[in-house]
A and B are shown apart, each in its own frame.
Chain A
Amino acid sequence: MVAMEPSVSLKQQAASASPDGRVAYPVVIVGAGPVGLTAGIDLGLHGIDTLLLDQDEALSEGSRAICFSKRTLEVLDRLGCAERAVAKGVVWNTGKVFLRDRLLYQFNLQPEAGHRRPAFINLQQYYLEQYLQNRLREHPQVELRWRSKVVGVEPRSDGVLVEVDGPDGRYQIAAQYLVACDGSRSSIREMLGLEARGQVFRDRFLIADVKMQADFPAERWFWFDPPFHPRQSALLHRQADDVWRIDFQLGWDADPELERQPERVIPRIEAMLGPERPFQLEWVSVYTFRCRRMERFRHGRVLFAGDAAHQVSPFGARGANSGIQDADNLVWKLARVLRKSAPESLLDSYDAERGPAADENILHSTRSTDFITPKSRVSRAFRDAALQLARSHPFARALVNSGRLSVPHTYRQSPLSTRDHDGFAGGPVPGAPAADAPLDIEPDTMWLIDRLGSRFVALYFAGAAPPSASVCSRLQGLANLAEPVHAIVLCEGGQAAQWHARGVDAFEDAEGLAARRYDAHPETLYLLRPDQHVAARWRRLEVRAVRDAVARAIGVLGPEYSAWQS
């Protein structure tokens, strides 16, 4: 059943072998940024031989993406590499918005306790890349090649021929699938004659990373019209190593070359921080931004992820986070298609699910940008009116948009989801990511999200009832489906040991938080996909319904279904 090598004919097309003598890989990833590395690690976890190519050497320059969301951290937890990022990063949940020199309002992105991960950490992209690379190296099946530029791509019906210009010359390799994670100026996209369409915003921003000792709290501070930078906006955010990210809105007429000169940058920062605070300038960049996307993220055997597929403005931390979630969505599907345990059409659901996610990000990002950079006199008047009113009228604070921060997309229209038939008043709907909750096993608290892993999971809420032989055998039987489903029981009243004694993975929902977050009654069952999104949910356990929902979630429908069952 394992058929992971590209076809003989495709391999023969590969004229000259790569430096290791190998001519073919199941997956070639182009671009070793956060998205490509995430995809590479995940493919390694799924046991898929993968070659990761990057035209540069090692880490990215400058802090670049700095805000990593709770859901991203959960994905990294699944891949086994969030811990270092969280330890190194700056945890934050609070944002403050100022108008001139006064606080307008503040928000808390994670007001409730009982989640393993915070709303956000701030961490320079190069640190995240370093941790991802370290994790990648633990997978011998994944090879990372630096200074290897893809100079030719030839899509075939059964794979892709990839021409690589590496340190030792040019060579050609055959890939069954190519995953393009090569950023907003994707050369793969260009070589295939594909476009990303959207709009450019007529504004320029200065990003400066400065190193300084400061006791400002770890919060996101955003100013409209601050005294130190009148009529524009500014942002201050703390990163690891006492490095602070400062953004200054410059306006469209600013000269990008001039504005990145230290003699221009330093006075702006001094105006913000005051003359008595010493700092060092670490990195400066002047940028404009755009919101755009490719019409489709799948083109036969080539799949686009991250900035290559879609691009947003930085307000909202929706770039790297959505790219990592692209990889999270894609890899479990790709692994099953390569192993022939799911039809190739499953890959279309990558586009069907991540396309709307990109649209949601672009919508939020565009709205934020329109608020921060009003495009007309009247839109500036409304913006300023909302800011003025926000001081004393609470409703207007909701109109103030300094960036709506990244939350995971719910795949509402997903073809992989089974629609609710039973009544649920809350809990994650089909297509939504799993909710976390603490699970109390003495002496250590564990987290529900960590128990899920990269597999289909049937999450069964048992309440305080002791295990019955019938429920145990049905739950255990799910492991024997063509696509195995691992059963996890959440129980109350100290029953976990009883379930364990019957060979069922069980945890105590000690605070009842999991049951609340899933709107669970005794016998409620959630089916979770390998990317930890909900595939289906019911008020009672019925094996046939689970089997049908799993089939739907891996794209097995209609006539293929009877073959799949056997």
Chain B
Amino acid sequence: MAELKTELNLAFPDDFYEALVALHRGLTDEQSEMANARLILLLANHIGDMSVLREAMRVAREDVDGDDGENTKAQD
């Protein structure tokens, strides 16, 4: 079972970050929301490992509402 990598895994982090921001250039908020949703689905399928995805969801939520992320286990 693979673990979520939280040490640096990108060879060129600045390039990635620039590309991520550039992805949204010229999009309305609504279009950006759609692009983000599509990006998450594409990446999730690429990763494929449910335990990595669950861990990423937990960490993603962790500092957002101070919750420990347990709620991401709900079906919603």
Contacts and interface: CB of A to CB of B under 8 A. Distances in A.
B37 interface: yes
B34 A396 contact: no
A396 B41 contact: yes
A385 B34 contact: yes
Contacts of A419: none
Interface in B43-75: 45, 75
Contacts of B14: none
B76 A379 contact: yes
Contact of A385 (B41, B75, B76): B41
Contacts of A385: 34, 37-38, 40-41
B76 A382 contact: no
B75 A381 contact: no
Contacts of A378: 33, 37
A363 B76 CA distance: 11
Contacts of B75: 363, 366-367, 370
A389 interface: yes
A384 B37 contact: yes
A395 B45 contact: yes
Contacts of A109: none
A375 B37 CA distance: 16
B41 A389 contact: yes
B33 A389 contact: no
A367 B75 CA distance: 8
B37 A370 contact: no
A399 B37 contact: no
Contacts of A366: 75
Contacts of B36: 381
A370 B76 contact: yes
B20 interface: no
B42 A375 contact: no
Interface string A334-375: 000000000000000000000000000001001100100001
A381 B33 contact: yes
A399 B41 contact: yes
A389 B37 CA distance: 10
B59 to A, nearest CB: 18
Nearest to B46: A395
Contacts of B41: 382, 385-386, 389, 396, 399
A384 B34 CA distance: 8
Interface string A459-482: 000000000000000000000000
A388 interface: yes
Contacts of A367: 75
B76 A381 contact: no
Q: Which 3 A-B pairs have the closest CB atoms?
A: A385-B37, A395-B45, A381-B37
Interface of A: 363, 366-367, 370, 375, 377-379, 381-382, 384-386, 388-389, 393, 395-396, 399
29 contacts: A363-B75, A366-B75, A370-B75, A370-B76, A375-B76, A377-B33, A378-B33, A378-B37, A379-B76, A381-B33, A381-B34, A382-B37, A382-B40, A384-B34, A384-B37, A385-B34, A385-B37, A385-B38, A385-B41, A386-B41, A388-B34, A389-B38, A389-B41, A389-B42, A393-B42, A395-B45, A396-B41, A396-B45, A399-B41
